[in-house]
A and B are shown apart, each in its own frame.
Chain A
Amino acid sequence: MATQNTRALARLMVAPSVGLLLIWMIVPLAMTLWFSFQNYNLLNPANVSFAGLFNYQYFYTDPAFFQSIWNTLVIVVGVLLITVIGGIAIALLLDQPMLGQGIVRIMIISPFFVMPPVAALVWKNMIMHPGYGVFADMSRALGLQPIDWFAQYPLFSIIIIVAWQWLPFATLILLTALQSLDGEQKEAAEMDGANFVNRFIYLTLPHLARSITVVILIQTIFLLGVYAEILVTTNGGPGYASTNLPFLIYRTALLGYDVGGASAGGIIAVILANIVAFFLMRAVGKNLDR
């Protein structure tokens, strides 16, 4: 049915998006790659020279580099563990008959809509503050010494905040998947005498497998880039204790004015993200064929 004419029109309709995205992707990325081989400091912009692999070497030998990679991974894995396990548990709970399910759902989903700076500042000041936070109030009520969360456990505190933001996402997606589970299958398993644990392991979990994969991959993409939460709470400290790769790059670029070094870090971040992206694309791509 598609004539030459409509085909040309179709191409014309797609062109602006493709063109914009192409420029958007290639130009900055090419610049980052170029800068990563240059000695280029914003404080001394007249003096730009070829640096070879010096920036990569510099980044690589910086002790903060390995710590930031480690912190990046700890944040990703920590948040994933909390959100996936917590998400499955809460989704199972929400799938049961109860009173006020609508309101419960709304309350549980809400943290996802809170912008990162608000989430981080609310947790930092209202909940985890060693003097006036709710946790400190609770410790005092129990006769304990309040904990200075961001000084003593900076990375853990950030993981808690980020996990709080992403738990609703995992819950919502897993609940959606759970509700598409065939009720008859569940009943049949129940009739056959399968208990809750068996039903969970042999029926529910396999059914959720794909959604869990999607949750893990999508969250990983976002979690690799955690930034605002660190900026407004610990500012990467104490020392480099809560500096992740994005934060280290930001510090190198906009506080250290080192364009070359930051660009080398950027390329490393691209490689990291691509490893994850490869698997995500496969998971999503499979769905397109169906």
Chain B
Amino acid sequence: MPWLAGMSGLLVAFGLYLTWFVVPPDYQQGETVRIMYIHVPAAWLGVFFYGAMALSAIGTLVWRHPLADVAQRAAAPIGAAFTLICLVTGSLWGKPMWGTYWVWDARLTSMLVLFLIYCGIIALWRTIEDPNRAARAIAILTLVGAVNLPIIKFSVNWWSTLHQPASIMRMGGSSIDPSMLYPLLEMILAFTLLGITLHLYAMRTEILRRRVRALTIREAERLDTGAVPIRPVSAGRTNQGFQTTP
């Protein structure tokens, strides 16, 4: 984990160096193009984490694997945060370039819907107390929401939008000049590694949280059946120190 975090930090630092000191200004956007080096990676991660959550949802519903639910729960706030970054930086780019912070354009609206779905999933998790019930409900909601992913991707092709069409992954190769494309790809890689690092760390924390919950329930049950702990909570490796009251 420290290696991943270190590599993420180095890649982000290198990406920022490229963005601020190497990338030339765009002939139309001028210096404002520098916003794209955080907007595009954030948009990618917003979609990437939702895709990962949809796969985890299948793992929860089909195989009922507990790690799938852990992965899904850990991914939601991270995906929501990057989607929010995408929306806000896009808005801050839109004002000087389009003359407005927001339009109800298909791409912008579908990204806003993605953010709202993230918020709904996080809220639902906080609403349902039983983790197993929550996992199933959220897995279903996540899969329903996954319909939005192809809408986000193809919105610029299906509808006439103010948002530009695909310029990195498209037939015939990227339309971006290599002097701008490679730093952008570097920032996408850096953000992805940072996101994965945060996700793995959040998964470890979620596993700890579930262990705490299981121990809390076990202790409550033992106390409820008349058992008392031999010693109060303290250092040591065992939590088996309970005895039955006479």
Do chains A and B stick together as partners?
Answer: no
- The interface of chain A, by Cβ under 8 A from chain B, is none
- The interface of chain B, by Cβ under 8 A from chain A, is none
